A and B are shown apart, each in its own frame.
Chain A
Amino acid sequence: MILVKRGTLTTAITAISFAIVLLYLSPFMWMIGVSFKPIAEWGAPYFFPQNPTLRNYMELTTGAVYGVRGHFPSIMPYLINSLASSSINSILTTFLGAMVAYTIQRYRFGGTRLATWILSLRMIPPVAVMLPLVVIVKTFGIYDTVWGLILIYPLITLPLTTWLMIGAIKNVPRDTDEAALVDGCTEIEAFFRIVLPQTGAGLAASATIAFLFSWSEFLIPLLITQSTKGMTLTVYAAYFAQEYGVLWGPMSAAGVVIALPVIVFAIIVHKYLVKGLTLAA
């Protein structure tokens, strides 16, 4: 009996799964819907805009005033800050992470204790260490700059990239770099010329993930930046909630702009992402 019904059952369960997942994503789709609605429809309880408009997106780039509802500045300087800090941090922490991972994986540098310590940094509630970090950033005179962000972000991203790179380096056959060492390479040469090129996908994935996490980071830029010189997109988005009243159209448009690159990249590296987040080997 089961055999007869199997095809129908497959169709039914697959359909149900997709329906559940789409329903699950509906809050996010709601935001996309609002971002295309003109001002009169922002609060309206239906998904598809009756008069779809791109105005919300256009005005994000210029900044705008919506009568008594409030006003907001242009997204551009924040976009540039976010891009700059996230990409520099991504490159920096990936290389640092790769080097730390190499010494830990191949030379057992610091033993289990060091590895555990680096990994446990992932668990720290950032808000509990922000106070001294704000003081550091102010002492160095890089408060409210992109450099301040680049200094502090590794606290979030370095444990992740180290962890991912340990996995990647583990997969590189040990013989290859040992052969290189025998042939007269120094350890550093062996690392850069033999091991690192072989980690290929892992390297790219951990760079992408470092980018995603610094792009989404909110607390750090909130506390160590205060103007267009250093503020990032996430803080910009939050100010919609706090200062510019209920400008839901532009707010949702900003949300979509900020979330889209993250989603696209996350889909590309989804395999590594789950590994990195769940501390799987």
Chain B
Amino acid sequence: MAFLILLVIYPTVYLWGMMFFSFHPARDPYPKFVGLDNFRILMLDDESWSSLLRTLILLSISVPIQIALGILLAVLFTSRYTRGSLILRILILIPMMIPSVIIGLNWKTILYSHGPLNELIKSMGLEPQAWLSMPFGNPSNTLICLAILDVWQWTPFITLAMVSAFESIPKDIYEAAYIDGASGFKIFRLITLPMSKSSFVTILMLRIIDSLKIFDTVYSLTYGGPGNTTTTYPFYIFKTGFTLMSLHPSYGYTALLSIVLLGVATALTTIIMRILKIDEILWG
């Protein structure tokens, strides 16, 4: 407990305090009180807002695709006609567990301009794309690359979670519906979906919260570039606080950015905690 308190209380106090100071170890001997100046910087800092916007765009591209694909696979895996469902589930677990950094490196070799993806596109008679390199390509492609990565990494999560949600639905409901002559699709729409709704909402919220953390893959796939085209909000915090690449290198400003992100995450977490019935899970 003391452990967690040290790791949580101190950082919180530090962040809230540091917010009003200007300090960078490479520049200042001691923190200088600047009052609300960091807020002024935040208001005027276009790059901070565009990285937040970029994170939201990324999230709104990748999460719906993941959910659609994930549910599709989950339906396939739990179908009455599928054998070897356990093996399928174990195999699909793999992308989710590979360390994100490695996924970034892996996709770097795939997305490169003469890599397997472009060869595949060429063999289908389409125009190969410059996925990661700026000079000749479309800069928004890199953001799409990140979305592809995120989808690849996290679709299995949706699948596995939905599979366990589907399986917790009592079997006799299906049997009753089947005897009444309902078709497969109707059963899915009228029984499976409504009955796994609460798991679905939890999973959706978890994915949204986790998407706000996207950092490892950005670091190893693009390092926020080319230019700023893939600088997500967490990566922007990293840049401001821990590298010399930033326009505003200051711990105080980093603290303020962190608090903005923590605020968003806390709001979402509060919602998810309302949905989960903690009491029942703990002592039920």
Contact = CB atoms under 8 A, between A and B. Distances in A.
Given A120-B273, A262-B99, A266-B97, A21 B7 contact: no
Main secondary structure, interface of A, reads helix
Contacts of B254: 131
Contacts of A205: none
Contact of A9 (B81, B97, B199, B220): B81
Given A21-B92, A115-B282, A31 B106 contact: yes
Interface string A248-261: 10011001001100
Contact of B261 (A6, A16, A105, A128): A128
12 contacts: A20-B73, A104-B282, A121-B8, A127-B213, A132-B18, A158-B4, A215-B99, A216-B99, A218-B215, A241-B105, A241-B220, A279-B276
B220 A238 contact: yes
Interface string B201-227: 011001001001101100111010000
B280 interface: yes
B203 A124 contact: no
Nearest to A16: B76
A118 B282 CA distance: 13
Interface string B233-272: 0110110011000000001001101110110011011001
B215 A123 contact: no
Interface residues of A, number: 89
A108 B283 contact: yes
A43 B112 contact: yes
Given A10-B81, A128-B237, A25 B258 contact: no
B55 to A, nearest CB: 10
A255 B102 contact: yes
B110 A121 contact: no
Interface of B: 1, 3-4, 6-8, 10-11, 14-15, 18, 73, 76-77, 79, 81-84, 88-95, 97-102, 104-110, 112, 114-116, 118-119, 152, 155, 157, 160-161, 164, 199, 202-203, 206, 209, 212-213, 215-216, 219-221, 223, 234-235, 237-238, 241-242, 251, 254-255, 257-259, 261-262, 265-266, 268-269, 272-273, 276, 278-284
B106 A118 contact: no
B241 A274 contact: no
A212 to B, nearest CB: 7
B238 to A, nearest CB: 6
A281 B76 CA distance: 24
A212 B93 CA distance: 13
A212 B98 CA distance: 10
Nearest to B251: A131
Most chain A beta-carbon neighbours within 10 Å: one of B7, B88, B93, B206: B7
B152 A218 contact: no
A158 to B, nearest CB: 6
B15 A125 contact: no
A54 interface: no
A116 B152 CA distance: 30
Nearest to B219: A238
A173 to B, nearest CB: 14
B105 to A, nearest CB: 5
Contacts of B10: 132, 136
A235 B79 CA distance: 41
Given A42-B109, A127-B213, A259-B97, 20 more contacts: A24-B152, A25-B91, A27-B110, A31-B106, A34-B109, A43-B115, A47-B116, A100-B1, A118-B4, A119-B273, A121-B8, A130-B241, A132-B15, A154-B4, A170-B282, A241-B220, A262-B98, A273-B93, A278-B160, A281-B284
B269 A135 contact: no
Given A21-B92, A24-B92, A124-B262, A116 B273 contact: yes
Contacts of B108: 241
Nearest to B152: A27
Nearest to A268: B90
B83 A10 contact: yes
A123 B161 contact: no
A30 B116 contact: yes
Contact of A255 (B18, B105, B110, B161): B105
A17 B157 CA distance: 17
A13 interface: yes
Contacts of A270: 89-90, 93
